[in-house]
Structure 1
């Protein structure tokens, strides 16, 4: 190495023969591993700065968005016994199709001619009501006639009373005039008597004056009798007037009493008629309810009663029906701490049971087998387990949900939130911090705007 000797030394030959020198160098495999580790470290370090979309995860199942589209049980409105089934489980039915027929178990409805008998009772009651109404009309006419007769009779009696008063006045005047004549005749008689005693007149003249006095006395008595008779006629006219009032009042009162009784009977009859009509209508409805029908188009999912002859109570369910072509939605349950981050219109990625999927919750664009949706409903109260329910509807502007999807299928979903770096998400998860709060994504706002524009165009 110092070139003191003329003999050359081959360093490569020495390194090959001396093992200790070989151990001082770095093995080639080690350098390769080091390069790989450095590359992997750099790769993961760079990945820390990649964007990551925060999300809220929830689990649930497929349901129908509208309550009318959800599975429903069909009850038996009346109590009865199953007579015949018209459907099978899984069979498609239309609205109004008969599912089963039941027969009566209550003895009051055993009569097969019950509606006809009720109609006969109603007809008879209507005839009775018509007859009673005719009687009431006749009584009203009778009362009116009695009132008119009373008016005429009172007028007649009043005229008679007035005539009696006029007659009393005339007879009284004649009586007063005759009293004057009596005074004159008495004076003439007294004067004639004096003159006869003084022999100034003859006996014949005196007797004439005496006869005139007696005649005047007789007339005065007659006129007195006429006055008394006239007074009695006035009293009789007054009595007759009172008697007419009493007699007609009695007859009118009796007619009014009969009318009141008829009106009371008519009211009772009309009440009974209403009850009979109500019973007839109830029987008609009950007869229709003997056939349990499908309320809407759908499929018979399950028969809840089996066999023929089984008795049912009022309100007992007989079958479960699933409406046809329901508007599907997803019912997800999220934690209470995540509810403040959710708003209507946020994007959701869904993974349905039975559909293979590769889900990257933070990178929805590279996920495979997931389907889009939008938050439509957020419950205001929690469920029994403390979680909150949200309803997710399909996003019509993106990929449609599978046609084969059935109600009740399990679903896991991710509600998309804000974009953050990967390192921030790792740091947030390690510290247990909530995701960043932000308004719904621009895509949701754009879709809402597009829907509004579409509605305006449709109205135009």
Structure 2
């Protein structure tokens, strides 16, 4: 029994040693060293592979042109909604009617407002015509007065001349009669003539003096008539010209009233056309601000939005100020659109799958409210086309490609917190060399 027990213990001891050798592979040739060396060499090789530096940013789908973005449909005038022609989600064309409004201001409630305003315009135009006829009649009256006064002036002027000659003749007759009377008196005093002869000469002298006085009075009266005729003509002419000026003033006032009423008429006519809200462009109706009939719209208030269907897609992204100097117009940007699967290798864009390419189109020069700069990126026509089913507001992850550097350099740069390499394209460098 003792020998059997020793044999069993010996077998157990041998089994333990065999298990130890099997577990720790004592005496077996090991290849772990070669695996470690190979992994190290592979890691070193990977460190020297090219790595494309990039700037990442989040964005959303938008458009490059303002008229292709969602447009608010506003009511220019206040009004009451009496009919809807579309509902949310409907697709409309440019010129389609969206809704009909009714007037709510008492100044425009009269259904015959346009006709009544037109009647006022016609009445004012007739008034302008009447006053124009009055001006023409006054001109004709002034012309007739001028012709009459010219003839009368000529007549009185000739009469003045004739009266002046008559006065001169009477004065000469008086001088002759006076000289004869004086000589006759001298002869009477000398006793050469009789008293009767002296009295006859005296009578003749008195008669010549009376005629002279009468001729002078007639001459002065004719001159007075001439002056009075001139004054009377000037007075009548001034009165006629005053009436003409008053008529012309009325014409001016009536013309101003016609212009004002015409302005009001056009405003009323245009306002009547604003009772129907028209789609300015084709698109889909969304976000209706009013939900029923008889709701009141204020002046300039939004009633709905129109989202255009035909748009040129772009991506709106925001980058940090520290990354802004690394970007330029025309630079390539890769995108991952939400809802479109993709496999991305950050440093190897050519090995990525499901990504899309774009070109920077706009770099805004002012910082946005979020402290970043806004960038608009358009589609890269030379690369894979963007999906046609993209919608405004769809999220996008942007990767702006920069310089190619070794992997070890990129790791070292990130560990030290250095910015990416700033570089310029060959075309820009060639342009600088030419300059």
State TM-score, norm by structure 1: 0.84
Residues 69-78 or 132-141, more deviating: 132-141
How large is the RMSD of aligned CA atoms in angstroms?
2.6
> Which residue number in structure 2 is paired with residue 379 of structure 1?
364
Name the CA distance, whole Å, in 2 between partners of 1:175 and 1:280: 84
- TM superposition shift of 1:24: 9.3
CA shift in 2, pair 1:278/1:27, >3 Å: farther
Deviations 1:275-328 (A, max 9, x none): 211111111111100000000122212322111111111111111001231111
Residue 167 of structure 1 and its aligned partner are, at CA, apart by 2.1
Match of 1:407 in 2: 392
SS at match of 1:381: strand
Pairwise CA distance, 1:347 = 0.7
The alpha-carbon deviation at position 361 of structure 1 amounts to 3.0
Post-superposition offset of 1:239: 2.1
**CA distance in structure 1 between the partners assigned to 2:316 and 2:21 by the alignment:** 71
Alpha-carbon displacement from aligned partner over 1:61-104 (angstroms, at most 9, x marks no partner): 11011001110110111111111111122222111110010111
Q: Does 1:258 align with 2:257?
A: no
> Secondary structure of 1:88's match?
coil
- Separation in 2, partners of 1:391, 1:17: 74
Shift, 1:385, TM fit: 0.8
Q: How does 1:58-457 map onto structure 2 within 5 Å?
A: 58-191=57-190, 193-194=191-192, 206-207=193-194, 210-440=195-425
Aligned-partner Cα distance in 1 for 2:95–2:21: 98
Going from structure 1 to structure 2, the CA distance change for 1:18 and 1:312 (only over 3 Å counts) comes to closer
Q: Match of 2:424, SS?
A: coil
Deviating 4+ runs (over 4 angstroms)? 16-28, 441-446
Q: Distance in 2 between matches of 1:221 and 1:85?
A: 114
Match in the other structure for 1:53: 52
How far did 1:257 drift? 2.2
Superposition deviation, residue 18 in structure 1: 8.6
Distance in 2, matches of 1:438 and 1:415, equals 13
Deviates more, 1:413-422 or 1:142-151: 142-151
Residue 21 (structure 2) pairs with residue 36 (structure 1): no
- Separation of aligned partners in 1, 2:416 and 2:346: 19
Kindly indicate whether the alpha-carbon contact (under 8 Å) linking 2:21 and 2:27 is maintained by their aligned counterparts in 1: no
Q: Is the 8 A contact 1:99 1:291 kept in 2?
A: yes
Deviations 1:348-394 (A, max 9, x none): 11111111111223222111111111001000111111011011011
Structure-1 residue corresponding to 2:5: none
Cα–Cα, structure 1 residues 82 and 440, in superposed 2: closer, same or farther, change >3 Å? farther
Could you report, residue by residue, the CA deviation over 1:184-212 in whole angstroms, capped at 9, with x for unpaired residues? 43344444x15xxxxxxxxxxx44xx544
How far apart, CA to CA, are the structure 1 residues paired with 2:426 and 2:308? 34
Aligned-pair CA distance for 1:253: 2.4
Following superposition, the deviation at residue 35 of structure 1 comes to 2.9
1:445 and 1:116 map into 2 onto residues whose CA distance is 73
Moved more, 285-294 or 357-366: 357-366
Q: Calculate the TM-score normalised by the size of structure 2.
A: 0.88
Residue 423 of structure 1: SS of its match in structure 2?
Answer: helix
- What displacement does 1:331 show? 0.6
Task: Indicate how the Cα distance of structure 1 residues 34 and 148 shifts in structure 2: closer, same or farther if over 3 A, else same.
Answer: farther
Runs of 5+ unmatched residues, structure 1:
1-13, 195-205, 447-460
Deviation, structure 1 residue 438: 1.6
Query: Residues 441 and 426 (structure 1 numbering): CA distance in 2 closer, same or farther, change over 3 Å?
Result: farther
